[in-house]
Structure 1
Amino acid sequence: MSVRVRRVYDPPEPDDGVRVLVDRLWPRGLKKEAARVDEWPKALTPSTELRRWYHAGEGSYEEFAERYEAELAAPEAAGLLDHVRELAAKGTVTLLTATTSPEESHASVLARLLRA
């Protein structure tokens, strides 16, 4: 199983496998053809409230990760997480995000959960 996290603005690479956009909003200034996104499971992304709370600097990354994991336990999100886990079991999955710090974002939380 191989799960990667990359910025969606980086050019696609041949070894990306299935490219999954894990942001709720489409990245600014990026054409859909250039992004080469295979899947966009919006219900797998953090809620608007959680995203705003984290970006406002009101809490730590660790607290954000805990709250996000709790959101992922909801039935629709859990089903999508299982779907992406199945994709990863078959080959490489690249989680795409527009954030400038993927290592401290929801994408890294997802990657950790998928690798577990």
Structure 2
Amino acid sequence: MSAPKIVVKRIYDDADPTDGIRVLVDRLWPRGVSKERAELDSWMKQVAPSPELRAWWNHDPERFDEFSQKYEHELSDDVHQEELQRLIELVHTHDRVTLLFGAKDEQVNHAVVLQEFLRRHNASELDDLK
């Protein structure tokens, strides 16, 4: 089996059959999106950045590199572990997982950091099997 695809997509974009498993990774429900329209398989609030980190970052592109480091550090905290493990399991058991987020910027958001974190995690587990 090939490595699972992990993609990011705005929750405001239409759901597509090719999305695979759709997981909202925001702590807050996105404004103006009904649960029916979201077509979620899961909402994993605990893998989102803490409210304190989100407030500090304030989606400032100049702070994105530092935010990314702090967020990845948070992902290692016990608070995130249960949901993070559930998300990792979804990645391992499905061909495609779409991480949904509400931010306007498609390049500078926490979901792209989480995507890269999951890709590295998946790659390191595959290396362990060799």
Classify the TM-score, shorter chain: over 0.9
Q: Secondary structure at the match of 1:80?
A: helix
Cα deviation for residue 102 of structure 1 reads 2.8
* Count of residues in Structure 1 that have an aligned counterpart in Structure 2: 116
List structure 1 runs of 4+ shifted beyond 2 angstroms. 56-59
What root-mean-square deviation, in Å, do the aligned CA atoms of Structure 1 and Structure 2 show? 1.6
Equivalent in 83, 102, 105 of residue 101 of structure 1? 105
Identity across matched positions, percent: 42
Structure 1 gap segments, 5+ residues each:
none
Q: TM-score, normalised by structure 1?
A: 0.92
**Cα drift, residue 56 of structure 1:** 6.5
Q: Deviations over 1:39-87 (max 9, x none)?
A: 1111111111111111174961010001111111112312322221211
Tell me: higher relative CO, structure 1 or 2? Use CA pairs within 8 A at least 6 residues apart: 1
Larger Rg: 2
The AA in structure 2 aligned to 1:3 is I
Which of 62, 65, 68 is the matching residue for 1:65?
Answer: 68
Where structure 2 has 5 or more consecutive residues not aligned to the other structure, the ranges are 121-130
